[in-house]
Amino acid sequence: MEEFNIQKPRGATRRKKMLGRGAGTGHGSTASRGSKGQNSRSGGRTRVGFEGGQMPLYRRIARRGFSNYPFKTEYTTVAVGALEVFSDGETVNRQALIDRKIVRRRTSLVKILGNGALSKKLTVEVDKVTAGARKAIEAAGGQVVGAPAGAEGATREGQAKPAQAPRSPKAQASKGDAAAAKPKKSTDSPAAKGQGEQTKPAGAKAAPAKSDAPQVPDAPQVPDAPQVPDAPQVPDAPQVPDAPQVPDAPQVRSDPEARKEQ
C-alpha cells in the first residue's frame, strides 16, 4: 500500500451536528437543548464545578497548611552509570545529554545521581551532582564543574549546616577602623595622675555637665485677651397684689338636735 492510498477507517470522521436549522436536520425545534430551563437559554451554561446549588466538591474538601507544589524545583535525574556512553575526555552537559537522548529536549535542570558504576574520565557540567555521583566521577579521573558544592547528596534530616563564609578584607578593615576610632582613657600622663589624686571636699556639689547643643530660645508670650464688660442688670418685675380673701361659708349643722330646735 502506498502512502497516498492510506484511507481513514470508517467512523473516524463524523458530520457536524446541525442545530437550529429546522426540523429537516433532525435537531430542530429546541435544537437538542430541551424545552425549558437555564441550559436551554442563550448563555445559560453553568460554571465548571457547579453542582446545582449544593456545596461543591472543591469547597467540601478542607485546605490546610502550605503546598510547595507551585514553587518546587524539578530536576531530571540521570544515573552516573548512564554516562558510560560517552568517551574519555568528553564534556557532559545538558546539550550533550539531549544529543545522546538520555534526557528530553524540554528538560531545564539536570541532576546526576550516584547509581551505577563509571569508568570513563569525564568533565561533568550540570546543575546538580550528589555526593555519591561526585565521588564516582572523581574516582574515575574526571571532574565536576559548575555544580553547587553545598547541595550535594545531603538529606533533610542529616543535612549539616553550611559553614559561614569568611569575611572579606574590606569588612575586617572597616571593623578595625571602628574599634580604633573609639577614644581610650589614658592614665599615664602626669595631669591625669594629679587629677586622680585630688579629693573633693565633703558636701561639694558636682558641677553640671555642659552640653554642646545650641539653646532653643523661649517661645514669645501671648498677650492676655481683653476683658468683656458685664451685662447690664435687668430691673425686677413689679409685684402683683394679693387677691382679696373670700369669707368662709356658714357651717350647716346636720345633727338631730339642730332639727329639734327648728
pLDDT computed for residue 66 by the predictor: 86
pLDDT computed for residue 237 by the predictor: 78
pLDDT along the chain (262 residues), means of 10: 78 88 89 91 91 94 86 92 93 93 87 93 94 94 79 42 55 59 54 50 55 72 80 79 77 63 59
**Structurally, what CATH architecture does the domain formed by 74-144 represent?**
Ribosomal Protein L15; Chain: K; domain 2 (3.100)
The 10s digit of each residue's pLDDT in 134-178 is 999 999 999 999 877 544 444 343 344 444 555 666 656 566 565
pLDDT computed for residue 151 by the predictor: 47
pLDDT computed for residue 162 by the predictor: 46
Give the domain ranges of the chain.
74-144
pLDDT computed for residue 113 by the predictor: 95
pLDDT computed for residue 167 by the predictor: 62
Number of other residues whose CB lies within 10 A of the CB of residue 19: 12
Q: What is the pTM of this model?
A: 0.38
pLDDT computed for residue 157 by the predictor: 39
pLDDT computed for residue 48 by the predictor: 93
Q: How many CA atoms lie within 13 A of 163 on its CB side?
A: 4
pLDDT computed for residue 94 by the predictor: 92
